[in-house]
Amino acid sequence: MDEFIKKMQDHTKVKSEAEARMMAPLVLAYIGDALYEVFIRNYLINEMTVSVNQYHKRATHYVRAKAQSHVVHALESELSEPEWTIVKRGRNQKSATVPKNADLTEYKYATGFEALLGYLFYIGQYDRLHYLMSKAVALINHDLGDQNG
């Protein structure tokens, strides 16, 4: 499991599933976005040695709404019913803004994906969280390979 996630276990108040389900989906997405961003940055730093600008450019392939939307759809069959419910709750939240480079539907599913990551974090399902983020990286790497080949 990612070292960052392991260390976070000691400093996070794990909530019951019921407590986590009661949290606002955008709050779950807020922490999920941060976790995923750190996961991606750590992944890239461990995979390559490039300038910070190049890390940033590469990271955008993983964290943009289009990629996250693709990931959540690709993982749908692997998600439990409660997990997919969290995705849908995140997807259905009204957002004040949409990034200029994102389609609204993609952005909503990306928010759902981030909400799921936040939910798993708060219920202490760190192995599942790590698995889904690793799977996201693999899916995106596959797509990047298809684009480059």
* pLDDT for res 149: 42
The answer to whether domain 16-148 has CATH 3.90.600.10 is no
Q: What is the pLDDT of residue 10?
A: 64
Residue in 33, 103, 143, 146 annotated catalytic: 33
Task: Give DSSP secondary structure letters for 33-76.
Answer: HHHHHHHHHHHHHHH----HHHHHHHHHHHHSHHHHHHHHHHHG
Residue 12: its pLDDT value, please?
72
Residue 85: its pLDDT value, please? 97
pLDDT above 90 covers what percent of the chain?
73
Positions in the chain short of pLDDT 70: 1-11, 146-149
Residue 33 appears among annotated catalytic residues: yes
Sorted by where each begins, the domain ranges of the chain are 16-148
